[in-house]
């Protein structure tokens, strides 16, 4: 069977950082403004006053300490509470493509490949900037890649689900080299006005190059793909109703259901066992046990979730050598989280070491990719 490898990864990190202290201060200023504006209705018991957010809660409940964002001022402005993105003319590279291209170029450079050697681009992310033409085709053109491109969205599992498509395309011979690009502009769909979730997300873009193992020596280590496994199970516990039908429904485009919302506790409880069982059974199908795995690069949504997944699998704790955490620095970057962990924390593994990239999130969806350092 054709050996397929991940030969390079790339990361684009926005220049702006918002600390928890800055975020909470702006949210609390927003809440005070709202409460002042609604003082009479609050006094009459018609609406509830907005309670304050707190840095202590955010850090204890999530493990997140800061997030990178594409536009900081708009998010922190208590009168606005969302980023401001300038509309671009159709003949200018779109924002999502721009950060995707930056990550893709970094992945190609790491793999020692030229864009012309790529013959497929998959743009896999939780949100697409527009309906069409596909972001992937714009990225393909901007890079100068050949072949074809398409978009796909499985929320937080977009990147791992795209990896399976890329790996299968290379294995079957329909493509030689496939780029999986995940530009996650989560700040545009994050509800910054809701204290239950205002701290959760951050912006970033990642890219991976998947190719046939040509057996040639390479300057950077390659990661042989031993197997992939995907699973979904419908749940309304993470949902966003923004979509192209909205304008025909005559509903408010700014209504709460048109941005990210979740039943965080339920998600936590339900997804942890699904993810742990998924990984264990995937490893079992490859003749491996959880303890045989040198490193887990897990989805980065919540520190407590990763602690429980790792405890169930190997009895250890996340955040160190077994399952590095990056969410303290990046927050939840949707589908890019496990890929950032893989990008930043793999150089110390030795040839023959096995690792698992695993995402879990909305859908519900879980995707695992088992790799071995060549």
**Interface residues with ligand CO8 (CB under 6 A)?**
53-54, 57-58, 61-62, 126, 155-156, 186, 189-190, 195-196, 201, 238, 260, 262, 264-265, 267-268, 301-302, 305, 332, 334, 361-362
Q: Shortest Cβ distance from residue 313 to ligand CO8 (Å)? A: 17
d(CA 231, CA 281): 12
Q: Shortest Cβ distance from residue 153 to ligand CO8 (Å)? A: 9
Q: Shortest Cβ distance from residue 168 to ligand CO8 (Å)? A: 24
Q: Which residues contact 200 (CB under 8 A, 6 or more apart)?
A: 62, 64, 190, 260, 301, 331, 332
Q: Shortest Cβ distance from residue 170 to ligand CO8 (Å)? A: 27
Q: Shortest Cβ distance from residue 166 to ligand CO8 (Å)? A: 21
Bridge partners of residue 122, in order along the sequence: 150, 180
Peptide bond preceding 364 in cis form (omega within 30 of 0): yes
Contact 145, 119 (CB under 8 A): yes
| Residue nearer to ligand CO8 on the CB measure, 5 or 230 | 230
| Residue nearer to ligand CO8 on the CB measure, 52 or 252 | 52
| Residue nearer to ligand CO8 on the CB measure, 150 or 268 | 268
Find how far residue 5's CA is from the centre of its chain.
21
As separate numbers, helices (DSSP H) first and strands (DSSP E) second, the chain gives 12, 13
d(CA 7, CA 220): 8
The two tokens of residue 56 are: 């202590």
- The one catalytic residue in 156, 197, 248, 358 is 156
| Residue nearer to ligand CO8 on the CB measure, 208 or 298 | 298
| Residue nearer to ligand CO8 on the CB measure, 140 or 186 | 186
The two tokens of residue 49 are: 């006053």
Lookup result for tokens 């979904």: 232
Give me the phi and psi of 131, to 5 degrees please.
-75, -45
**123 tagged catalytic:** no
d(CA 193, CA 165): 37
Q: How many residues does the chain have?
A: 374
Strands 238-239 and 261-262 turn out to be: antiparallel
d(CA 254, CA 270): 29
| Residue nearer to ligand CO8 on the CB measure, 274 or 374 | 274
Contact 212, 3 (CB under 8 A): yes
Q: Shortest Cβ distance from residue 310 to ligand CO8 (Å)? A: 15
**Cα angle at 343 between 341 and 345, to 5 degrees?**
60
Instruction: Write out the catalytic residue numbers.
Output: 156
């Amino acid at each position: 069977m054709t050996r397929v490898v991940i030969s390079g990864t790339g990361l684009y990190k926005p220049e702006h950082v918002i600390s928890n202290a800055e975020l909470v201060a702006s949210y609390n200023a927003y809440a005070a403004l709202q409460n002042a504006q609604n003082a009479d209705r609050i006094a009459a018991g018609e609406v509830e006053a907005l309670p304050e957010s707190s840095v202590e809660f955010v850090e204890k409940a999530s493990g997140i300490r800061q997030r990178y964002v594409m536009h900081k001022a708009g998010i922190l402005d208590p009168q606005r509470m969302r980023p401001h993105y300038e509309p671009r003319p159709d003949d200018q590279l779109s924002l999502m493509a721009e950060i995707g291209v930056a990550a893709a170029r970094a992945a190609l450079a790491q793999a020692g490949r030229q864009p012309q050697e790529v013959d497929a681009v998959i743009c896999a992310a939780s949100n697409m900037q527009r309906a069409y033409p596909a972001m992937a085709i714009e990225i393909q053109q901007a890079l100068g890649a050949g072949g074809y491109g398409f978009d796909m969205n499985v929320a937080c599992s977009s990147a791992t689900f795209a990896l399976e498509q890329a790996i299968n395309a290379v294995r079957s011979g329909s493509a030689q080299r496939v780029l999986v690009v995940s530009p996650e502009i989560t700040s545009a769909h994050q509800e910054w006005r809701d204290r239950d979730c205002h701290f959760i997300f951050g912006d970033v873009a990642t890219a991976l190059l998947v190719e046939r193992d040509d057996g040639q020596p390479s300057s950077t280590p390659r990661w042989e793909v031993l197997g992939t496994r995907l699973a979904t199970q419908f749940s309304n516990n993470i949902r966003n109703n923004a979509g192209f039908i909205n304008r025909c429904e005559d509903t408010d485009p700014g209504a709460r259901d048109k941005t990210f919302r979740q039943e965080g506790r339920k998600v936590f409880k339900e997804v942890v066992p699904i993810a742990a069982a998924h990984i264990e059974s995937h490893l079992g199908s490859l003749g491996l046990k959880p303890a045989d795995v040198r490193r887990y690069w897990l989805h980065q949504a919540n520190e407590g979730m990763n602690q429980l997944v790792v405890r169930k699998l190997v009895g250890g704790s996340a955040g160190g050598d077994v399952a590095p955490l990056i969410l303290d620095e990046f927050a939840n970057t949707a589908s890019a989280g496990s890929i950032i962990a893989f990008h930043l924390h793999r150089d110390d593994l030795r040839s023959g070491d096995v690792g698992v990239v695993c995402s879990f999130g909305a859908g519900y969806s879980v995707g695992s990719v088992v790799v071995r350092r060549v």
